[in-house]
Amino acid sequence: MIHDVDPTNDKYPAALRILHWVRALLTLGLIAAGWMMTVLADTVTEKFTLLYPWHKSFGVLVFLIVLAQLAIRAMSRLPGPAPLPAQERLLSQAVHVAMYALLLLVTANGLCDVQLFHRQRRGVLLRHPPS
């Protein structure tokens, strides 16, 4: 990530800090909802009428928040690197990039799964043999 670094600045912009915590809470909620969806039986109607729609909606919201965070990061002066040994600094940067990449990839994967599921139900991708 290439961005403008200000060694005299010791805080991230307020917008990034707020979006960070909103995204963190939403992500924890999505993990909990996803776990609940795998635990609940398919006979529980709330699984399909409540959990799935909310999970999808909040997943898209997390995706948009990550895109907003990346845009804000690109336009903001960020604090300089922490005074860490070179190996730890490199590792922290790699973890940071991996977190953003995973948030984008997991959300994109979920959106692809939804599309695939709907196409399968219509029989576009997989033709089910007559019963």
Mean pLDDT, rounded, for 99-125: 77
Q: Check whether 127 has a pLDDT greater than 90.
A: no
Rounded to an integer, the average pLDDT of 19-35 is: 95
Q: Are 23 and 63 in contact (CB under 8 A)?
A: no
Kindly write down the DSSP assignment for every residue of the chain, as one continuous string: ---EEETT--S--HHHHHHHHHHHHHHHHHHHHHHHHHHS-TT-HHIIIIIHHHHHHHHHHHHHHHHHHHHHHHHSEEEPPPS--HHHHHHHHHHHHHHHHHHHHHHHHHHHHHHHHHHHHHTSS-PPPP-
Contact 107, 63 (CB under 8 A): yes
In this predicted structure, what is the pLDDT of residue 126? Answer: 46
Triad 44, 46, 48: Cα angle to 5°? 90
Per residue in 79-107, pLDDT tens? Answer: 877 788 989 989 988 998 999 999 999 98
- Could you tell me which of 66, 60, 56, 64 has the C-alpha nearest to residue 98? 66
Specify which residues 38 forms β-bridges with.
none
Residue 1 pLDDT > 50: no
Give me the mean pLDDT over the 24-34 stretch: 94
- Render pLDDT for 56-79 as a digit per residue (tens, 0 to 9): 999 999 999 999 999 998 998 888
